[in-house]
Amino acid sequence: MTGRAEQITAPIAYHAEGPVWVDELHWVDMLAGDVLSLGPDGTVGRRHVGNVVAALRPRASGGFVYAVERGFALDDGTGTPVRMLPELWATDAKRMNEGGCDPDGRFYCGSMAYALTPGAASLYRLDPDGRVTTVLDDLTISNGLEWSPDGRLAYYVDTATGRIDVMDYDGDRGLTNRRPFATVETGSPDGLTVDAEGGIWVALWGGSAVHRFAPDGALSEVIELPVTQVTACSFGGANLDELFITTSRQGLPASAEPSAGALFHCQPGIAGLPVRRFAG
């Protein structure tokens, strides 16, 4: 099945990423360091967090946890300044990129080198007590990460591989047994989300589309967009049956793709899952 997404904002972001629904839609203008929010009337709010804000998830106690350029930060939701946690590296050669929360309330985010250096990236896990663990090494562009409806599987993208991988998950052992799940034939896999039926939706950087893969790995749906650099997708709305899609104009000439950087939207006829919250 093939559908088409509609544009619902102006091209307000340079490199939009990481949409997540928490009463309303939140996403990031990553390289501007800003968190965006979509109000009920369609207006867009903007809050500056730091040099880079790569991903966010709600906290169980209120507010948000952020992945920032060199690690993690906490926002208590009261309007006080964001609290930066200790940096995970000192170099300015890489940044955080994309992440998500596991069923036990731990927040993961992976990195990438600005120069796209192969093997220079890692996937990190922030525990509720503030401890950080390196989960995967020897990555290139650590990207989309989300769990199956029953929480027993996690789907993951290292963009340079050209595929979606799947891993087993339990609370004690964490992520294990990484293996290929599906290969992307058009563009490069970027951010992803999982629907209530266990389908995996992946944004295609350079592919002008979002693809849905069924739990058996078969391509089952294509959502087309009028821009090439599609970065991430997430379900939202009151019934979690709306798919929100972020896009980027990073590296594009000023006159190219006038809709790049806008937020897009469609109703694919399948509902998503409630966002998992960080327990810290």
Catalytic residue numbers?
190
Contact at 8 Å (CB) between 134 and 123? yes
- DSSP tag of 4: E
Taking the C-alpha atoms of residue 278 and residue 34, their distance in angstroms, rounded to an integer, is: 20
Torsion of the alpha carbons at 34, 37, 42 and 44, rounded to the nearest 10: -20
Neighbouring CB atoms inside 10 A of 9's CB total 18
Taking the C-alpha atoms of residue 120 and residue 112, their distance in angstroms, rounded to an integer, is: 7
Contact at 8 Å (CB) between 19 and 25? yes
Residue 179: is it exposed, middle or buried by C-beta count within 10 angstroms (0-12/13-18/19+)? exposed
Taking the C-alpha atoms of residue 262 and residue 248, their distance in angstroms, rounded to an integer, is: 8
| Pair of tokens at residue 127 | 């525990």
| Phi/psi of residue 190, nearest 5 degrees | -125, -130
| Phi/psi of residue 189, nearest 5 degrees | -70, 135
Among candidates 40, 19, 23, which has minimal Cα distance to 201?
A: 19
Q: Is 97 in a helix, a strand, or coil?
A: strand
Who's near 224: CB < 8 A, 6+ residues apart? 2, 3, 4, 5, 208, 209
| Phi/psi of residue 30, nearest 5 degrees | -55, -55
